Structure 1
Amino acid sequence: MNWENNLSNIIEAINEAQHKGIQILCLPELCITGYGCEDMFHSTWIAEKALDKLGHIVPETKDIFVTVGLPVWFEDKCYNAICLIYNQQVLGFYAKQKLANDGVHYEPRWFTPWPTGKAASFHYLGTDYPIGHFTLDLFDIKIGFEICEDAWREDRPAGHTINHGVDLFLNPSASHFAFGKAEFRESLVVKSSERFDCTYLYTNLLGNEAGRMIYDGDILIAKKGQLIGRNRRLSFKNFNLLSAVIDFNGNQDGEKAIQLDHPNPFAEFGKAASLALFDYMRKSRSKGFVLSLSGGADSSSIAVLVAEMVKNGLEELGFDGFNVKSGLDLTEGDAKKVVYQLLHTAYQGTVNSSEDTFNSAKSLAESLGARFYDWKIDEEVGAYRDSIEKAIGRELTWETDDIALQNIQARARSPIIWMLANIEKCLLLSTSNRSEGDVGYATMDGDTSGSISPIAAVDKSFILSWLTYAENELGYKGLKHVNSLAPTAELRPQEMMQTDEADLMPYSVLVDIERKAVRDKKSPLEVYDRLKGGYPDHVLLKQWITKFFRMWSINQWKRERIAPSFHLDDFNVDPRTWCRFPILSSGFQEELDELSRS
């Protein structure tokens, strides 16, 4: 709903396309309002204002055909539509027929699917225009339309008789980022162009629009089974423009415009999460980030993501562009000097902390250029402990009060790091990962404290592997200490030799169980049947599965309160976007009994 910004981007894109001699321009789905307005789409004034903004766009379309996405109320129902404009004249409105209703999508909550093959009349600014499902004859070719989910269904609009003989399909989309999704999307576009013997153009939204979803700005052009245009995704720019010269008479087309892209999930993660952090920072009008840097894997990965944000932003926008777009008054310098202005870190040690983690945190912060503070919280922890011991009339011991003694240390760190964030007017970065979210291995109001949780959608095994990648491939040599340490909360006395995997289970096992139980929705016994071939110790495997399901069940309340996170993988455990589970349940008791008897 940033009307001025969205209108500026749209008009600037149109003007650039006109300057380059482009005749047909496809802008993304719902680009006037933004895709992520959610329940605000129920407000009729949102669509009315979008139509008002459309009136500012139409005069900008001299000698060019443009599709512009917006919500349209028609006969007391809201439709996800695109307006078709040519040479300063509205030609009609195509309405989306297939609504996304899986994973992170809830489109049927806001929109009505348009009936396939139906066309009606829509009154706009004193004139009646066609609305619904139709094609256009323009530039001596037949143009058809699909909007995002339309193309992902077997009974898609492109296969309807209305679209027989279409030369060009335009697909404006708002397709969220997930690891590996770009390859599937490219395959869909190429196969669509082959199946319908046409040229197929796909364009996607770009950036972290509303907080959780990341859009990669994918632009794809295929002709009759051949990819002829693909841009680089996950740009820090306001928009990207990709063009191709198409001869619809079957003669030689122009040169292919296929650019190299990020080839693997590790590269995608750095690009996607850093872009998401940049947009989240500037759109929340924050001055930067504050991070409790423990020297362990999770907080270190987030520190590197902020450094990647600066590096990628400066490389693509230059200092002046980065400074203006961030909305901050930064002092010019290299990447490390900019990181210094944006990232404040603190090592909050206790008597249970080690020199290894302190040195790990300090050396990483220095290598990135981040500000680094360190202080002890033993006095605060001691005060809490003294107060409760006096109240209950006994001393706390590790034998009887293990969890309480661990948690108070994590919670005692929260107020002071929040204080630093308030002082600096920065976002506090939460350090919980998805594996911790699965089993509640995180202290509520402790390491879950934060404004945004950048890694809550990826598992711990991924984080550990990515840190090695970041050290060796991205050049972050300050990760050497981090990558040499076994993950540990460092909340018990050092002589107890605490490690995460001893508290839980091997992270690789946790990930295997998570994928079957959460992503694939399998019961405990089904999880066991699918994993037992890879684990010779079946008794131990059953113990791990039982532990996972029990901890998953009793910790839903924690997942409900984890800070907003970016959607990065093909699934996540955020109940507000992907995985809803009851706060109170039986805890799979009957199903776990079946597992134990099997």
Structure 2
Amino acid sequence: MGRKVTVATCALNQWALDFEGNLHRILRSIEIAKNKGARYRLGPELEICGYGCWDHYYESDTLLHSLEVLKALLESPVTQDIICDVGMPVMHRNVRYNCRVIFLNRRILLIRPKTALANQANYRELRWFTPWARSRQTEEHLLPRTLQDVTNQDTVPFGDAVLATWDTCVGSEICEELWTPHSPHIDMGLDGVEIFTNASGSHHVLRKAHTRVDLVTMATTKNGGIYLLANQKGCDGDRLYYDGCAMVAMNGSVFAQGAQFSLDDVEVLTATLDLEDVRSYRAEISSRNLAASRVSPYPRVKVDFALSCSEDLLQPVSAPVQWRYHSPEEEISLGPACWLWDFLRRSRQAGFFLPLSGGLDSAACACVVYSMCRQVCQAVASGNEEVLADVRVILDQSSYTPQDPRELCGRLLTTCYMASENSSQETCRRARELAGQIGSHHVGLSIDPAVRAVLGIFSLVTGKSPVFAAQGGSSRENLALQNVQARIRMVIAYLFAQLSLWSRGARGGLLVLGTTNVDESLLGYLTKYDCSSADINPIGGVSKTDLRAFVQFCMERFQLPALQGILSAPATAELEPLANGQVSQTDEEDMGLTYVELSIFGRLRKTAKAGPYSMFCKLLNMWTNTCTPRQVAEKVKRFFSKYSMNRHKMTTLTPAYHAENYSPDDNRFDLRPFLYNAAWPWQFQRIDTQVLQLEWKAQQDLDDLD
């Protein structure tokens, strides 16, 4: 006889401190789950207050308002006759915990605190929360009086326990616990738990989905069982984009896959699965059963409720699905675009302003906005009323319905080519053609009068007039003349962002988009407070290598032939005088390193935790066929010298979509100093000594051959 259960998991676009909106989305998800026949509903981590509250977790208001939302959920008729599993911060005996609150029919069944906190990379959970350290133990939690009046309970179980319903046993994991070496689901499964839930606040990084799916499927491959994963989605008010990917798995196979990138604020997945399939799967794994006979039991909270129906023989069960992964190029086209949409609609600005240089980075940024417009049109066409309402508010047009991405892009994106006497006709043409093909409102202007005016002030005060190196000037003059052009572009960008819609008789202002990639930021190959200084940067966490592949993808997928010329052109800042009308300056020559090399340096510095000497040692083997030890040493020393001299620029980086684990954004992610001894005397001496030893050994080997 089968025991079929219908369970629901969610991906919700929650917003930090948006208690009213978060409550509305939670109730909608519960209502959808019930309408689909689910009797257990799982939501994302800290969904009541929004995951990214950061230091707002210290505030008593955050705890108070979370309790108020919980009270509203308990009182709502929507939450009746379904087990609801919601996330919120809870203060227990003056200690703040990241918790799941599980309730049924106005009674709290269990408050389950997180046992392993995420405290690496972008995560600082140990700053705000304490992990529950008492494995398989609970104690009584005294409810505040406002909840006692609703639940008719003075105290509820608080701690590491599982739920025992009439027909099965359910255990909770919270995000990071799935990633730990000895996850709770291992012992819970050995103790007879058949349904595992995981509420996550897991952000998007390129190529990360594979790891997440592998962890879930492997959890049920070794131990059997049903696994539900819920996740936050959207921009929670910061640099991170939470990419959904809610899923339901059983016995090593996926039975429901949620969207990784979507403009839907509420997504609910359900699956109907047979508990007998779990039991038969486990029955033949003798090693698992032997381990189960020795496991320490979990406290069980008995629940007077069944997840299965008594008359379920004819109820169809869900079939396995093949997980569909996005390529990195697709991830760049979708993730940053969804992030931009959240920023735009929540800031209530009227669009974006993009300095479009005719180069790869600004073209990639334009393509992200165009991809956003495509997703908005698709969402509206599929009947998403919330997206349609947001578009109408943003554009202040109550009857407008977007249908064509190019037409919508013309309303939301203003691009501007800011020429100087050092700009080439080719970049001007490429920018104009791309703007025409994506439909942006395009402006062309010259910054030369502004540059001359600023230099005139300097000359009037000092009596000196700087000239470029090509005209006999010093390196200081050359750099200053480049920087003044770049900074004037930033001033003009903000002026046009604030007033260009006013000049066209439209309401609102525009968000300025930055276009610096993660590799340029890493080396500091940018002018501080130039047009890389913007409101937000959708490509600031993406490598040049990935951006090039993304632009190639956009050329083919979106039919944008203007991108072909941009792809084939050398990367250049165009801040130095032209030579016979042709570009004389390229990025890689200026940096002394290639963008491919910069990506490698970035990953070794951040992900591999390599300092100058260990990076040199690693690259000796990696580049053994292309570089001599001395060449490797020179590249490493050049990188660290430039990186440390320019590290101060990282303190002013535009908030950027976080897509790479070697992002140098020091505001939240890369906690390193910004004042260094840029000579690195001790470290570089160790490298030089090693180079001499290697060269001596190589010479000895040659002498032996002779």
**Shorter-chain TM-score: which interval?**
over 0.9
Is the 8 Å Cα contact of residues 232 and 260 (structure 1) preserved in structure 2? no
Q: How big is the shift at 1:118?
A: 2.5
CA distance in structure 2 between the partners assigned to 1:445 and 1:459 by the alignment: 21
Aligned to 1:84: 102
What do you get for the CA RMSD once the two structures are aligned? 1.8
Q: Does 1:421 align with 2:497?
A: yes
Deviates more, 1:34-43 or 1:445-454: 445-454
Q: In structure 1, give the amino acid aligned to 2:22.
A: N
Q: How big is the shift at 1:139?
A: 4.4
Aligned residues: 598
Instruction: Identify the structure with bigger relative contact order (alpha carbons < 8 Å, sequence gap 6+).
Output: 2
Aligned to 1:75: 93
Is the 8 Å Cα contact of residues 254 and 323 (structure 2) preserved in structure 1? no
Q: Does 1:235 align with 2:259?
A: no
Aligned to 2:337: 274
Aligned to 2:525: 441
CA distance in structure 1 between the partners assigned to 2:252 and 2:168 by the alignment: 19
Aligned to 1:530: 618
CA distance in structure 1 between the partners assigned to 2:322 and 2:142 by the alignment: 42
Aligned to 2:12: none
Q: In structure 2, give the amino acid aligned to 1:99.
A: L
Aligned to 1:590: 682
- 2:353 partner SS: strand
CA distance in structure 2 between the partners assigned to 1:465 and 1:257 by the alignment: 33
Is the 8 Å Cα contact of residues 447 and 488 (structure 2) preserved in structure 1? yes
CA distance in structure 1 between the partners assigned to 2:321 and 2:662 by the alignment: 29
CA distance in structure 2 between the partners assigned to 1:200 and 1:431 by the alignment: 40
CA distance in structure 2 between the partners assigned to 1:33 and 1:147 by the alignment: 16
- 1:256 partner SS: coil
Query: 1:552 and 1:291, CA in 2 relative to 1: closer, same or farther beyond 3 A?
Result: same
- 1:528 partner SS: helix
Deviates more, 1:169-178 or 1:111-120: 111-120
Q: How big is the shift at 1:163?
A: 6.7
Aligned to 1:407: 483
Query: 1:229 and 1:162, CA in 2 relative to 1: closer, same or farther beyond 3 A?
Result: closer
Is the 8 Å Cα contact of residues 262 and 268 (structure 1) preserved in structure 2? no
**Which of residues 131, 136, 161 is equivalent to 1:134?**
161
Q: How big is the shift at 1:492?
A: 0.2
Q: In structure 2, give the amino acid aligned to 1:384.
A: V
Trace 1:174-323 onto structure 2 (pairs within 5 A).
Answer: 174-250=201-277, 254-256=317-319, 258=321, 261-318=324-381, 321-323=386-388
Q: In structure 2, give the amino acid aligned to 1:122.
A: H
Q: How big is the shift at 1:542?
A: 2.3
Is the 8 Å Cα contact of residues 290 and 427 (structure 1) preserved in structure 2? yes
CA distance in structure 1 between the partners assigned to 2:250 and 2:659 by the alignment: 30
Q: In structure 2, give the amino acid aligned to 1:479.
A: L
Q: How big is the shift at 1:439?
A: 1.2
CA distance in structure 2 between the partners assigned to 1:92 and 1:560 by the alignment: 44
Trace 1:411-490 onto structure 2 (pairs within 5 A).
Answer: 411-423=487-499, 424=501, 425-490=509-574
Q: How big is the shift at 1:173?
A: 0.7
Q: In structure 2, give the amino acid aligned to 1:51.
A: L
Aligned to 1:558: 649
Q: Does 1:514 align with 2:584?
A: no
CA distance in structure 2 between the partners assigned to 1:487 and 1:540 by the alignment: 24
Q: Does 1:500 align with 2:591?
A: no
CA distance in structure 2 between the partners assigned to 1:161 and 1:185 by the alignment: 20
Is the 8 Å Cα contact of residues 493 and 531 (structure 2) preserved in structure 1? no
CA distance in structure 1 between the partners assigned to 2:105 and 2:273 by the alignment: 20
Q: How big is the shift at 1:255?
A: 2.7
Q: In structure 2, give the amino acid aligned to 1:248.
A: L
CA distance in structure 1 between the partners assigned to 2:62 and 2:430 by the alignment: 50
Query: 1:322 and 1:575, CA in 2 relative to 1: closer, same or farther beyond 3 A?
Result: same
Deviates more, 1:277-286 or 1:302-311: 277-286
Q: How big is the shift at 1:48?
A: 1.7
Q: How big is the shift at 1:156?
A: 2.6
Q: How big is the shift at 1:160?
A: 4.1
Deviates more, 1:153-162 or 1:41-50: 153-162
Q: In structure 2, give the amino acid aligned to 1:548.
A: F
Q: How big is the shift at 1:391?
A: 2.5
CA distance in structure 2 between the partners assigned to 1:524 and 1:186 by the alignment: 35
Deviates more, 1:234-243 or 1:190-199: 190-199
CA distance in structure 2 between the partners assigned to 1:527 and 1:21 by the alignment: 56
CA distance in structure 2 between the partners assigned to 1:314 and 1:438 by the alignment: 36
Q: Does 1:96 align with 2:114?
A: yes
Is the 8 Å Cα contact of residues 230 and 257 (structure 1) preserved in structure 2? no
CA distance in structure 2 between the partners assigned to 1:208 and 1:194 by the alignment: 33
Is the 8 Å Cα contact of residues 364 and 478 (structure 1) preserved in structure 2? yes
Q: How big is the shift at 1:157?
A: 2.4
Is the 8 Å Cα contact of residues 138 and 158 (structure 2) preserved in structure 1? yes
Is the 8 Å Cα contact of residues 144 and 163 (structure 1) preserved in structure 2? no
Query: 1:531 and 1:162, CA in 2 relative to 1: closer, same or farther beyond 3 A?
Result: closer
- 2:265 partner SS: coil
CA distance in structure 2 between the partners assigned to 1:434 and 1:445 by the alignment: 16
Q: How big is the shift at 1:325?
A: 3.0
State the identity %. Answer: 28
CA distance in structure 1 between the partners assigned to 2:18 and 2:327 by the alignment: 33
